[in-house]
Chain A
């Protein structure tokens, strides 16, 4: 992974000092609430319903064991002993004290971490594929580009006060596991002959006005990545709307101008800067890539290793289930990537205790070269586990509550903090997630359902990605009461689509029953091996509607 040199350390330490001064001035009354707001936001600090919330940046989801242990210690010393993985591959503390934040940031800086630009109207943490570097369908490793983008966007002097927040995602493989089509900029690594380059999409997003991004460039040469991003953000900074925060995202500008015209303006701007200081040199590219070389894999005979693993799986149904759901094929023979589930029933998705953070660190050290990746589904990936140690890892993961074999299934939900924590919420989301987990806890049933994304947001800001869930649940306010709208047919994959509203919303008590009916229709109508989303795309929303809203007879 990327390691700081003294320059990175200087920048981050100066940030801590700057924020310390800002906090002191605020507490002394020299900075007004209104003036402090953008400053604390650009440091990831929200004032929430119950307490401040501090969002820590985890660049493209990558963490090492020392960082995990430090996060655990911070959660113990400054919080209530737990932390929360977010849907943007970051980590949040829900109960820190404002006065402590500068000290927390200083602790983070020691392990090369920070909270820079995790909120506010600026370029946010770049996200990517949690299986970067190990996936078999990878065209090129996205992480070096993510790191270059991280550095380019960190304290970018021109782009710290954009019309609205700005999110970039990079995918390096054929399957899109980074949801790039619902980002302000989606960067898809592509190959043309021997050349690596990028397809560039703009104007995707969720929130109140969900939009699928449109392509403005089919092939951008590797060396031009940063100058092209600069051109896009510059055009947006000049032309994006600032009169209405709900119309300020780049997607609205792209819609207003049309993707073609927007693209033309970007190209015009880019022509003038493409040979400037942001052009990536061969040295710079080689330098960025040098941080993401393969670890020292052992050599295995793939077939032998697979057979041995199969034998173990045949002996133990529970282990075999876990393998089936929680492991991911690896490009190196004899290895697999493993997802630790943060979603056993009854735990808010993404929540982990300090001890669990330490346990993840231990597992990473023991089984996966000391590194992990946070996924946007709020789980944790150990990317490089030798197959001959999987059984051992599974047993250890079980002890710590990470072995729920539900990855990609209905109960592996994306769920925002909702009304329990978030002051913007219309409705609670965590109790809904829990009720669904309790109702559908039969593993055979879950496996039979197969891949199913169920996403829950507590309000239309869509932090729980409900627009791109195969099933999406949205908290709405109906005359002061918490209601839930159900949507169907969304996807954040390379075939991205936005979910459609099923019909009138439901009370919390009704939600699980409604989900049950939706699943019944799927089970009745599916063809062999057909996943939920494909059945939905084939039969449309109508059969689901009829069943769910059928008058009780």
Chain B
């Protein structure tokens, strides 16, 4: 039977490249990533294959308690219109949170990341997924991302350079808890 016009999300979905940058090194991607699905497709805690997997928030949310015993291998990804407070204090129980950039110009994920780290105390892997670009890496890192599943064409080795385009910064952020105005060696 042909599917009815999808009521679910039609936006771009993150790819899940085989390699990524994690804590400044190029490593193999150990996680599967499930795209958002429309409501027809049924995934349950039982049908979810074993192994490390990143679930879209909309899927994770209802399955959360059922998946609790497997929590070390269940990560969540937030789309750009899903805010950090949806996960909120539950962040601490997750081994991985990914934040999706459907387009590089969609900057909502920067706020999401900062809030996960600064407001909800998230310490685990925070992974940028989607269409972000090399020249955003410094900003992404400063907002708390430590993993970058880059989908673009440039070699990852080249990207490493752009993680630290700036050695100094004016504002406080996740990488630097003090604003520069407090660090200028004031009397």
Binding site for B on A (CB under 8 A): 5, 7, 10-11, 14-15, 17-18, 22, 30, 35, 38-39, 121, 148, 151-152, 154-163, 226, 234, 237-238, 242, 272, 276-278, 280-281, 283-284, 287-288
Contacts and interface: CB of A to CB of B under 8 A. Distances in A.
16 contacts: A7-B180, A18-B135, A30-B154, A38-B104, A38-B105, A148-B181, A155-B171, A156-B171, A161-B104, A226-B179, A237-B107, A238-B111, A272-B119, A278-B179, A280-B181, A283-B187
Contacts of A277: 171-172, 177-179, 182
Contacts of B173: 157-158
B137 to A, nearest CB: 11
A159 B135 CA distance: 14
A237 B111 contact: yes
Contacts of A7: 168, 180, 184
B181 A158 contact: no
Contacts of B167: 10, 14
Contacts of B170: 11, 151-152, 154-156
A161 B138 CA distance: 13
A35 B179 contact: no
Contacts of A35: 104, 133, 135
Nearest to B161: A21
B90 interface: no
Contacts of B106: 161, 242
B154 A155 contact: no
A288 B170 CA distance: 14
Contact of B169 (A5, A11, A283): A11
A238 B142 CA distance: 18
Given A35-B133, A155-B170, A162 B107 contact: yes
B87 to A, nearest CB: 15
Contacts of A234: 111
Contacts of B133: 35
B140 to A, nearest CB: 8
Contact of B108 (A22, A237, A278): A237
Interface string B84-124: 00000000000000000000111110110010000100000
B104 A284 contact: no
User: Interface size for chain B: under 10, 10 to 19, 20 to 34, or 35 or more residues?
Assistant: 35 or more
Interface in B144-187: 154, 165-173, 177-182, 184, 186-187
B31 interface: no
A533 B154 CA distance: 58
B142 A287 contact: no
Contacts, number: 113
Contacts of B184: 5, 7, 287
Given A158-B111, A161-B110, A237-B110, A283 B171 contact: no
Contact of B181 (A15, A237, A284): A284
B19 interface: no
Interface of B: 83, 104-108, 110-111, 114, 119, 133, 135-136, 138-140, 142-143, 154, 165-173, 177-182, 184, 186-187
B163 to A, nearest CB: 12
A281 B182 CA distance: 8
Given A148-B181, A281-B181, 7 more contacts: A38-B104, A156-B170, A159-B110, A160-B107, A161-B136, A242-B105, A287-B186
A14 B105 contact: no
A436 B130 CA distance: 53
Nearest to A282: B186
Contacts of A17: 165
Nearest to A17: B165
Nearest to B110: A158
Q: Identify which of B114, B172, B179 gathers the most chain A CB atoms within 10 Å of its CB.
A: B179
A283 B104 contact: no
A5 B167 CA distance: 15
Contacts of A38: 104-105
Nearest to A148: B181
Contacts of A226: 179
Contacts of A281: 181-182, 186
A157 B181 contact: no
A158 B172 contact: no
A151 B111 contact: no
B160 to A, nearest CB: 13
A5 B182 CA distance: 14
A85 B173 CA distance: 34
A179 B92 CA distance: 46
Given A35-B104, A160-B110, A11 B83 contact: no
A163 B154 CA distance: 26
A248 B168 CA distance: 31
A237 B143 CA distance: 14
A226 B169 CA distance: 15
Nearest to A280: B181
A272 B178 CA distance: 17
Nearest to A36: B135
Contact of A151 (B135, B138, B154, B181): B181
A237 B167 CA distance: 25
Q: Identify which of B135, B142, B166, B172 gathers the most chain A CB atoms within 10 Å of its CB.
A: B135
A136 to B, nearest CB: 30
